[in-house]
Amino acid sequence: MPGSHKTRIMLNAVVNMGASTLAFSTDSDQDTVSSRLLAKASGHPTTVTEGWLRSEPAKCAKILAQYDFIRWDFRPDPTLDDIWHGLYAYHETEGRYPDQTVIDIASDVGHDTGDEWGSLRDLMRQAKVIARETGTHLLLVHHAADSERTKKPCPRRSDIHGKIAAIPELIVTCGMTNTGDLHVACVKNRHAKADADANNHFPMNLNAETSLVSDYVSQPHAYAGSWTQPGEDGW
């Protein structure tokens, strides 16, 4: 649902995997993504790292260089043709397709197929074709229905927007408890156990200020790092 930190979860997953990735970020612009990556890398809040982008661009570029395995496309309304062309361009420059392709958010992909539900179903069919023809892993970030009937904290498989649960191999839903804690649930998994009703949800450690999502610990320790590092002119 809105406000459930979907993009933060995606960013942490992609960074932790470290696989070559082509990411279509329709929901967040370049400054937002950059400030969150800087926050994750440094342990400083995004309210600080946003200022770094303006005051210290060269140093920010140096920190962000560690994430060069991610190639970004920030157009807000890519079409399916744009996604295919992006994959072809990646292959042209790298000699292979990316290990992973991210679309955040799925419903922002432009279509000419008519209604929104038909467009989403068409995207899912094309996602399967893309995965099989290129070998890339497709990671789609998507919404759940936002209604009183939507299960909380984690939506059920039946709560997924557009009822497009048939094709994905794995579906994880996420949400916030009344106390502001992040929980996730596996509601579909073709190769292991899953709980379609999201009764078996579990907590994750979330620090929204530094865009950090990690395994839950009962007493998380504060990040001890700092923006400045020894050597290299104070870095």
By C-alpha distance, which of 142, 77, 86, 74 is closest to 110?
77
Residue 226 is assigned to a structural domain of this protein: no
Q: Report the length, in residues, of the chain.
A: 235
What does the pLDDT look like over 142-194, one tens digit per residue? 999 989 999 999 999 999 998 899 999 999 999 999 999 999 999 999 999 99
Task: Answer yes or no: is 231 within a domain.
Answer: no
Is pLDDT above 60 for 56?
yes
Cα diameter, the chain: 58
Give the model's pLDDT for residue 230. Answer: 46
Whether 105 is covered by a domain: the verdict is yes
pLDDT in tens, 79-89: 999 999 999 99
Average pLDDT over residues 66-78: 96
Is residue 80 in a domain?
A: yes
Across the chain, mean pLDDT equals 91
Per-residue pLDDT at 233 exceeds 50: no
- Has residue 230 been placed in a domain? no
Q: How many domains does the chain have?
A: 1
pLDDT at 235: 43
Three-state DSSP state, 70: strand
222 inside domain: no
Tell me the C-alpha distance between 18 and 12, whole Å: 10
pLDDT of residue 71: 98
Three-class SS of 165-209: CCCCCEEEEEEECCCCCEEEEEEEECCCCCCCCCCCCEEEEEEHH
Strands 212-215 and 202-207: antiparallel
Burial 111-131 (b: 16+ CB within 10 A, else e): beeeeeeebbbbbbebbeebe
| DSSP 8-class letter at 212 | E
pLDDT value for 122:
87
**C-alpha closest to that of 127 among 181, 84, 184, 185:** 84
On whether residue 114 sits in a domain, the answer given is yes
Percent of the chain surpassing pLDDT 90: 82
Domain extent at residue 98: 6-215
Please enumerate, as own/partner, the contacts of 15-20 that have beta carbons within 8 Å and a separation of 24 or more: 15/40, 15/67, 17/100, 18/69, 19/69, 19/98, 19/99, 19/100, 19/137, 20/69, 20/94, 20/98, 20/99, 20/100
221 in a domain, yes or no? Answer: no
* Beta carbons within 8 Å of 226's beta carbon, 6+ residues apart: 42, 43
Query: What is the pLDDT, as a whole number, of residue 68?
Result: 97
Is the CB of residue 53 less than 8 Å from the CB of residue 60? Answer: yes
Position 218 pLDDT exceeds 50: yes
d(CA 85, CA 97): 12
Average pLDDT over residues 60-70: 97
pLDDT of residue 217: 79
Residue 225 has pLDDT above 60, yes or no: no
Residue 37 maps to which CATH number?
A: 3.40.50.300
